[in-house]
């Protein structure tokens, strides 16, 4: 009997009630980047109760890895959920609203953790697969790169994971539908800061100074030529200046100004090109104005790029769960970013969106009125179980 056929409607309904309880508990007790201490303890407590074979904690600071061995030997498979919340004040007033002022699960990572726990509960009980499942509960997906921290802490050296899979709920995509595509799913996330140093002067005697504000103005416009004139029209890039700081009063030309912003791309070669061009333009404008430019360019997250084979397998598992008509195999990628990308850089993997429908009051991710859609808990858990069945079938079940 296959793993998925053991998940009867009754068993699934009972598991869904449990997952909802866990999800509401996590929602009420949000913790942010690398402070997921109680959340990790909650995950560990559940994994112990399920009787998983090994539990490793403190990987990437607050990350947890649970190991479940199947009935027979086979490859290692990694399934990842993120555990962190956001620095955001929750607007909701339902019973499971955040108990911690200023922190909130507004990206649904409470639901992701509950769904992977639900799958873990089932897999640990039945173990009807040939191989080993590593349940990866990562910290700090938002901004701080918890995925990178786990990889740097030896995630893939300590556990010989052959392929890795991620999932994110996606408001705006119909509830219970999936969307996945080979290649780029989400963009890279870089930040930059350009400091211009000139020579301050009386605003009535500009010829005695070196004006950084005129130079800043030219620089902001010139940076827009990167996407328009350097990157191929067939590739994608966003260069957004989001801050300009300089000057304090009416009649002084300031000595310095600072310009900050973000860059998004889907391709490492394009990312390299944009960074180099941004540096060249900053230096060129500086030379033009007889001033100096100092550029700080920081690559936060690489693009999330699905490997062809793992994408195919994930789409197959999603199709087995909800039917081909509910799986979009060619969604438009998002210019948002996701630190699952660090896991994919180290190991072939695929990342899928699970539709959350319009959401609570039509809320999107990171909105203070957002709440994870509990209707999709069962579908997410079934997807994880089906993925294990698809990748690690017992020889007798490969009919």
Using CB under 5 A as the criterion, which residues of the chain lie in contact with Zn ion when the complex forms? Answer: 107
Q: How far is the CB of 105 from Zn ion (least distance, A)?
A: 9
CB of 224 to Zn ion, least distance (A): 27
Cβ closer to Zn ion: 107 or 315?
107
What is d(CA 344, CA 297) in angstroms, rounded to the nearest whole number? 23
131: closest CA among 399, 397, 322? 397
The CB-of-84 to Zn ion minimum distance in angstroms stands at 8
346 vs 364 by CB, closer to Zn ion: 364
CB of 306 to Zn ion, least distance (A): 17
| Beta carbon nearer to Zn ion, 169 or 216 | 169
Closest CB to Zn ion among residues 43, 293: 43
Q: How many CA atoms lie within 13 A of 241 on its CB side?
A: 18
Closest-CB residue for Zn ion? 107
Shortest distance, position 51 Cβ to Zn ion, whole Å? 29
What stretch of H or E contains 390? Answer: helix 377-391
Nearer to Zn ion, 171 or 393 (CB): 171
Q: Which is nearer to Zn ion, 129 or 301 (CB)?
A: 301
**DSSP-based three-state secondary structure for 49:** helix
Whole-angstrom distance between the N-terminal and C-terminal Cα of the chain?
11
| Dihedral sign (CA 276, 282, 285, 287) | negative
Q: How far apart are CA 376 and CA 322, in angstroms?
A: 11
Q: With respect to Zn ion, which residue has the nearer C-beta, 122 or 342?
A: 342
In whole angstroms, the minimum distance from the beta carbon of 141 to Zn ion comes to: 6
Residue number, 107 or 356, with CB nearest to Zn ion = 107
Q: What is the dihedral of CA 174, 179, 185, 187, to 10 degrees?
A: 0
* Residues sharing a CB contact under 8 Å with residue 366, sequence separation 6 or more, in sequence order: 86, 88, 106, 107
Q: Phi and psi at residue 47, in whole multiples of 5°?
A: -60, -40
**Hey, what are 347's tokens?**
């190991």
In sequence order, what DSSP letters do the residues of 265-324 get, joined into one string? ES-HHHHHHHHHHHHHHHHHHHHHHT-EEEEEEEEEE--EEE-HHHHHHHHHHHHHHH-G
Smallest distance from Zn ion to CB 364, Å: 10
Structure token digits, residue 128: 């009807």
CA distance 131 to 114: 23
- Shortest distance (Å) from residue 370 CB to Zn ion: 10
């Amino acid at each position: 009997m296959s793993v998925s056929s053991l998940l009867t409607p009754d068993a699934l309904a009972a598991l869904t009630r449990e997952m909802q309880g866990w999800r509401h508990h996590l929602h009420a007790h949000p913790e942010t980047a690398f402070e997921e201490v109680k959340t990790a303890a909650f995950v560990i407590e559940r994994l112990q109760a399920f009787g998983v074979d090994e539990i490793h904690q403190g990987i990437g600071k607050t990350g947890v890895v649970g190991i479940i061995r199947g009935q027979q030997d086979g490859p290692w498979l990694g399934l990842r959920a993120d555990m962190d919340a956001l620095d955001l004040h929750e607007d909701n007033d339902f019973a499971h609203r955040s108990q911690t002022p200023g922190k909130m699960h507004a990206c649904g990572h409470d639901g992701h953790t509950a769904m992977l726990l639900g799958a873990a509960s089932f897999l640990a009980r039945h173990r009807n697969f040939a191989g080993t499942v590593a349940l990866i509960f990562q910290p700090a997906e938002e901004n701080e790169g918890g995925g990178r921290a786990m990889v740097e802490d030896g995630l893939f050296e300590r556990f010989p994971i052959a392929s890795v899979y991620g999932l994110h709920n996606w408001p705006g995509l119909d509830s219970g539908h999936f969307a996945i595509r080979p290649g780029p799913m989400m963009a890279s996330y870089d930040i930059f800061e350009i400091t211009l140093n000139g020579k301050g002067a009386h605003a009535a005697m500009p010829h005695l100074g070196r004006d950084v504000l005129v130079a800043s103005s030219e620089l902001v416009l010139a940076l827009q030529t990167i996407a328009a004139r350097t990157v191929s029209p067939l590739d994608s890039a966003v260069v957004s200046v989001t801050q300009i700081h300089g000057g304090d009063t009416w009649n002084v030309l300031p000595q310095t100004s600072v310009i900050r912003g973000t860059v998004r791309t889907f391709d490492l070669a394009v990312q390299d090109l944009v960074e180099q061009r941004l540096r060249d333009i900053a230096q060129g404008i500086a030379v033009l104005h007889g001033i100096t430019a100092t550029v700080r360019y920081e690559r936060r997250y690489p693009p999330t790029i699905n490997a062809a084979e793992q994408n195919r397998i994930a789409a197959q598992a999603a199709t087995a769960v909800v039917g081909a008509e509910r799986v979009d195999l060619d969604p438009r990628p998002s210019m948002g970013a996701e630190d699952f990308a660090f896991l994919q850089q180290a190991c072939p993997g695929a990342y899928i969106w699970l539709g959350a429908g319009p959401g609570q009051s039509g809320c999107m991710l990171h909105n203070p009125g957002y709440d994870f859609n509990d209707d999709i808990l069962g579908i997410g858990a079934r997807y994880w179980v089906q993925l294990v069945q698809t990748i690690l079938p017992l020889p007798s079940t490969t009919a």
